[in-house]
Each structure stands twice: as structure tokens, then as C-alpha cells.
Structure 1
Amino acid sequence: MQRLTALGLLLACAASLGSSAVILENGMPILWSHTAGQLTDLPVENGVLTPDPWHFLHRMSLYRLLIAATDPFMGCMGTNATDSPFWGLPLQLGWMLTSGRLGDPTGASTCGLQTGDTMCISTQSWWACQNYFVSALPFLSAAQQGLMGPGLQVKMQMPEGVEDLCTTYADCSARFPEVMPKWDAFFQGLKSASESPLPDLEKKDALLGLYWAAQMASSHASAVCNARQSHYSSTEVYFAQCWLNAAEYVSAAYFQSNLERSAVFMNPLPGRILQVTDVAPNIPDLSDEENHTLSVFSWMQNINNLLGGSLVRMWGKAMCSMNTREKGKEMLEQVLLNPGYATTSFLSIVTGMATGC
């Protein structure tokens, strides 16, 4: 893995200080060129690969290696080198870095802060903990399924005092039995899809279904991180809840989170941690797009809460076929990115779609 240059460090720092989080650098996820291009660039101890997922470049390296290992099986996703659904994850991690969400929210250390090690990922960060379930766990599963090469053993480094996270495939399988089989099923499906006679559209739809099932299992298991939310303002905690709620819609529609499409949805996310005084859509130091995104997230969460969770259930029921999932993706794009789109239209259309399934 390349050493982080002064230029790369300055880019990360400058992005953190701006109002909009920077997620791309030369068309790739932030600091991508400084990550591990091969497994041997990561530390090895007694024949066991031992990445440090609490260092930004190591965690981002997990994604780079995962994408490289799975790309040969991703032909049904499209002809571009960045069509894999995994690309959404390094963009998320980059947004968390440049928006300051990987830093220590307690003030007890300078981990991840501009006054300390900017590449440090804090174990006290809720965002970092939640992300662990969609970075370390899929990597461990992919290695177990032989995608990283035969017989590879992996153990994630874990700082002392962190008791609620797992470090090996066996450990994660025992502690999160609802998660690892879902990732295993995705990687197994990925390998078998390359030999399937089904049309690419059907293979893609099936694989995206397996992918999002694994993602959502990881998301639900990350509830073990919830105690860390006490370190943030009530506004940031509410945004975190909205973020998780929005994932329910994206996953049910089998969103193909490739690099290009993910960047469109990631760009308008808030470029800093929210404070208790922040009230969208009138947060002065955030862009109109960021304010709009926060307002839409809040609306979707509020409506779902008022309906006792039935909006998410109706949406899930409506996404019952390839055809309705395509419509669902278009609707999500409209409601999230088009300020002129009436949210009442979203509600009525979802209700109608659900009754038609």
C-alpha cells in the first residue's frame, strides 16, 4: 500500500473543512490511489492477513481488493469497469471521512480529527461502527468463499476495549449468524451466475437481490453500535435514523450502486456532522441540495413513523417484480434529487403499486 503523500493528506483535510463533503478524487473514491492494490500490501502475521480497519486506508483497501476479486464475475452488471454494486460502499466511506463522521465524537482523543491523525477511524464513532458491518464482514466472507485465493486466513485488528465487534469469519458467523450466511449466499451466487444460461438482466436482478439482502442484514446487525449515538446531537442521531430508513427503500428496489449512480446520490449528503440547532431546509452553511436531501429523508422517516412503519412495508411489497423495481428506482431518483417532485405523489403511487402486486 502506498504511503499517504502530503498531497493526499491535504486533500482529505481540505475536504473535511468544506461544507460539501468530497467523495471523488480524479474520478475515483477519495484517496483510492493510496490504498492496497494487492493483498501483500496489507500486514501479515504468522501467515494470517491482519488489516487494520481502524485506519482509513486499510478499510478503503478492503473495498478495493473486494471489487478487484469480484469484478471477473460481474459481467451481467454492465460493460463499464465501475458497474459493480460494491462501488457505493467506498463512496460512503469517503463521505464519512470528509464530513468528519469517522472522527472521535467524544472529544477524548484526536482520532480522525484535523488536530490529530486524519486517517484514524474512531471506535467511538457510530458511523464507523455501522460501516464496519459492510466493510470487514463482506471481506471476511469473500475470503472464506475463496474469492481472494485459496486458503486465505484473515483476522481484523481490533483495539483493546472493543467487545461488540467480530474479527474473523468464524467469530462473525457465531456472533452475527443472520449476516454471514447472506454474504456467503451473495458470493456463491456471484460465482455460479457466470456459468448461468439466464439473460444478463435476470442474472443482474437476482444478484442485486442477494447483494441487498446481505447489505440489509449487515445494517440490522449494526444495532450493536447504537450506544455510540449518545455522543452526537439529537439532530445527527435523527439523520442517522433517516439514513438507515432510506436504505430500506434503496435495497427493496435493488438499486445498482455503481460508481456513477452512487456518486449522484452521495453528493447531496450533509458535508458535516449536524448540530442541535440545524433545521433543514434552512441550514445556512449547507447547500440547497444538502438541505433538500435532509428534508426528504426527514419526510420519509416521519411519514413512515406516522403510519406505524407501513410505508416501508408498502414499498417493499410494491417492489415485487423487475418492472416495479425499475419504476421504484426512477421514483427514488425523483423524490431525492428533484426538488419540484411532490412528495404526496410518492405516497399515492406507492400505495397504488403495492395493491397491484
Structure 2
Amino acid sequence: MERLTASRLLLLAVAASVAYSAVILDNGAPIMWAQAAARVSELPVQNNILTPNPWNFTHRMSFYRLMIAATDPFMGCMGTGATESPIWGLALQFGWMLTSGRLADPTGATTCGLETGDAMCISPQSWWGCVNHFVTVLPFLSAAQQGIFGQGVQVQMQAPEGSEGYCTTYTDCSTSYPNVMMKWDAFFQGLNASTNAPLPENEKKDSILGLYWDAHMASLQAAAACRAKQRHYSAPEVNFAFSWLNSAEYVAAANFQSSLEKSAVFLAPLPGRVLQVGDQAPNIADMTPEENHILSVFSWMTYMNTFTGGALVRMWRSIMCSAAMREKGREMLEQLLLNPGFAKDTFFSIITSMGTSC
């Protein structure tokens, strides 16, 4: 199976290298979805305790597949399709990190994550792999604790060899990152409670998405613990990473439903390789116009927020104060990120004019 997995990844990497556009889907599913565990019992077990290795790509992708399957019965308000859960967005994003080379060892000291080494390895030195740890391992541990996979399921994550600082159990993570675990607990508890809640489906949906993004953002904020790992990357990649985190503020405040289909549209233009010294959008020659565009937009959003002392994000949050306004916000983000003809100044003008809309 490992040979099959590695060869499949190689084909995807070759496809990505043609124009460096992001590869986020494999036969209509997230990368390596077919190799991910479909049942909790497929994960490694020792003494009746699950012992998965979160530094193996297929194990970590399994966490998403298992969480989606276990929570789908509570996601009816998201829509009638089979891929409406907001967790799909995380799975797609994780696959992009793999195919773009962002989970590999950035120090060059090992072949972890490289085609010439262990292609399924996630390097503990990778900033991207570290940040993803907070939106994969922590929610999975919370889900197990809340009985999402059945009562009594215990999990002890394998620790990365030669690296410290990554929590491996629910208790451990709750001690190190209490706010994050509290938020994920609230999300999974809220899913269960929503089943019998006497609310219209659209209100249930907005409430669940609110809980989801609260937990997601708490994870990203705690991922500040990964910051030291950015020293292994070029300045353009570090700037992009900061902009990528900054963009989550807008998506979260708008309660974006990160379903498989919707997330694929927004993730497809992401850069298909790690940025290097000299890369400057919108003039990166070996990247597509779409990649250049989204890198430029991310950079502009970060610059404007920094220039205004954080006012742009604060204004955005303040106007995302109702379901109707959040819907408008999602439409604006789509125009800004995906439509090159949509002027960035127009986005700023709309935000400032909407300041008293709620």
C-alpha cells in the first residue's frame, strides 16, 4: 500500500509541476482519501487505546475522514448533499499542503515529505505541518472525548521522533491549550444538541458554523507556538503564511460553509509550491494568473489591515453581525479572491460604508 500511495502522490506532484497550480482533489475527493481510514478500528491500537501517528499523512487525513463520517448525521442543516460539512475544507487544505511541498522538512536535514524519501512523512519542523496539528489532532482528540466515535474511545497520539512540544492526549492538550479544547468541545456538543433544537434549519446552520469557526480560529491562534519554525522559510513564504492566517479572520467572521465544493473553488488558486526568494506576485513567472492574483490579494489584505492598525479586520468582524450580513460578506469575499476584475479599493469602500449596517 505504501508503494501505491507514494506512486499516486508522485503522479499528483507531476501534474502540479506543469504550471504550479494547486492540486487539491484526487478523483473528486481530498488527496489520498481512499487510503485514509474509513473506520476508527482501522487505526493502530495498543492495549485498547488508539495510537495513530499524526506525523504520517494518511493517518492525519484519516482524522478528517472519521470526523466527517461521525458528525454527518448531525449536519442535516448544512444541506442535502454528502459533502456539506465544514470539515471538508480542512481536509482539502491539508491535501494542498502535501502536494505543494509544505509538509516536507524545510531544513533539508532529512528526506521527510520528499519523493526521494518518505512521501507520507509530515516533518515536525514544517511550520505548515505544525499549524495543521492544531486543526487536526486537537479536534480529533476532542471528538473522541465527546463520544463522537462511540463511548469509551481513548486516543494516545504517537509523538514525533526527536521533537517535543506537541500534545498527544486529550488531557495533555487540555492542559496546554485549554481554550482550544473548550471550543472544540463546544462545537461537538453543539452538533449533538442541534439535533432536537426547535430552531429553523438556517438558524441551526448559522449556529453550528459559528461554533466551528470559533474553534477553528482558537486553534490558529494557539498555533502561534509554531512561529519559530518560520525561520526555515524564505521571506516571501513567511509573508504568505502570515497573509494566509490573516485571511482566515475574514472567512471565519462570515461563517463560511467550507463544504467540499465551495472550498475547492477557493483553494484551487493557492500557490502550488513553496515560495522562494525573489517571488513577488503578480509577476511570478512560473505561476498561473490565478495564483498570482490570490497572492496579490492576500498581500493587499494584510497590508491594509496592518496599515490601519488592525482596523480592517475589526470593521469586518463588526459588520458580520447577522446571518444576512454574513451572507453578503461571503459574496464579497468570493468577488475579491476569485474575480480579477473586482477592484480591491471597492472591497475597502464597501466595508467602510457598511459600518453602521447592524
TM bin (shorter chain): over 0.9
Alpha-carbon offset, residue 10 of structure 1: 3.2
Question: 1:155-186 CA distances to partner (integer Å, 9 max, x unpaired)?
Answer: 11112343222100000001001100000000
- CA separation in 1, counterparts of 2:81 and 2:355? 34
1:3, 1:34 within 8 Å by CA — same for their partners in 2? no
Match of 2:72 in 1: 71
CA distance, structure 1, for counterparts of residue 11 and residue 24 of structure 2: 11
Who is 1:131 aligned against?
A: 132
Q: Is the 8 A contact 1:35 1:58 kept in 2?
A: yes
Output one character per residue of 1:27-61: Cα deviation in whole Å (capped at 9) or x when no partner. Answer: 10111111111111110111110111100000000
Measure how far apart 1:17 and its partner are: 3.6
Q: Which residue of 1 aligns with 2:10?
A: 10
Partner of 1:205: 206
Decide whether aligned partners of structure 1 residues 4 and 23 sit closer, same or farther in structure 2, where only a CA change above 3 A counts: farther
Structure 1 residues 293, 34: closer, same or farther in 2, change over 3 A? same
1:191-340 alignment, distance < 5 Å: 191-340=192-341
Correspondence 1:17-28 to 2 at 5 A: 17-18=17-18, 19-28=20-29
Residue 11 (structure 1) shift: 2.8
Aligned residue type for 1:14: V
Name 1:166's counterpart in structure 2: 167
**Following the alignment from structure 2 to structure 1, what is the Cα–Cα distance between the partners of residues 17 and 229?**
24
Paired AA for residue 61 in structure 1: S
Q: Contact conserved, 2:103 with 2:123, CA < 8 A, in 1?
A: yes
Shift of 1:8: 2.2
Spell out, residue by residue over 1:81-119, the C-alpha distance to the aligned partner (whole angstroms, 9 max, x if none).
000000001100100000000000001000001221111
State the Cα distance separating 1:12 from its structure 2 match.
4.0
- Comparing 32-41 with 239-248, greater Cα deviation is found at 32-41
Displacement of 1:354: 2.1
Q: Please show how residues 142-157 of structure 1 align to structure 2 within 5 Å.
A: 142-157=143-158
Question: Residues 313 and 4 (structure 1 numbering): CA distance in 2 closer, same or farther, change over 3 Å?
Answer: farther
Query: In the superposition, relative to structure 1, how do residues 160 and 34 fare at CA in structure 2: closer, same or farther (>3 Å)?
Result: closer
Secondary structure of 1:274's aligned partner? coil
Kindly tell me the number of residue pairs found equivalent between the two proteins. 356
- Name the CA shift for 1:186/1:4 in 2 (closer, same or farther; >3 Å): farther
Q: What is the CA–CA distance in structure 2 between the aligned matches of 1:17 and 1:108, rounded to whole Å?
A: 23
3-state SS of 1:284 partner: coil
State the AA in 2 paired with 1:188: Q
The 8 Å contact of residues 101 and 274 in structure 2, kept in 1 or not, is answered as yes
What are the ranges of 5 or more consecutive residues in structure 2 without an aligned counterpart? none
Q: Structure 1: which 4+ aligned runs deviate by more than 3 Å?
A: 15-18
Alignment gaps of 5+ in structure 1: none
User: Which amino acid is 1:5 matched to?
Assistant: L
| Contact 2:9–2:99, Cα closer than 8 Å, also in 1 | no
In 1: Cα distance, 2:258 partner to 2:293 partner: 21
Q: What TM-score, normalized by structure 1, do the two folds share? A: 0.98
SS at 1:198 equivalent: coil
Which shifted more, 7-16 or 47-56?
Answer: 7-16
CA distance in 1, matches of 2:3, 2:134: 25
In the superposition, relative to structure 1, how do residues 15 and 228 fare at CA in structure 2: closer, same or farther (>3 Å)?
A: farther
> How far does residue 68 in structure 1 lie from its aligned partner after superposition?
0.4
Question: For residues 333 and 37 of structure 2, what CA distance do their matches in structure 1 show?
Answer: 34
Distance in 2 between residues matched to 1:15 and 1:94, nearest whole Å: 14
8 Å Cα contact 2:36/2:59 also seen in 1: yes
Higher mean displacement: 17-26 or 294-303: 17-26
Q: Measure, in 2, the Cα distance between the counterparts of 1:276 and 1:253.
A: 34
SS of the residue 1:292 aligns to? helix
Counterpart amino acid of residue 14 in structure 2 = A
* Contact 1:71-1:84 within 8 A present in 2 as well: yes
Aligned mates of 2:35, 2:284 — CA distance in 1: 34
Task: Tell me how far 1:271 sits from its aligned partner.
Answer: 0.3
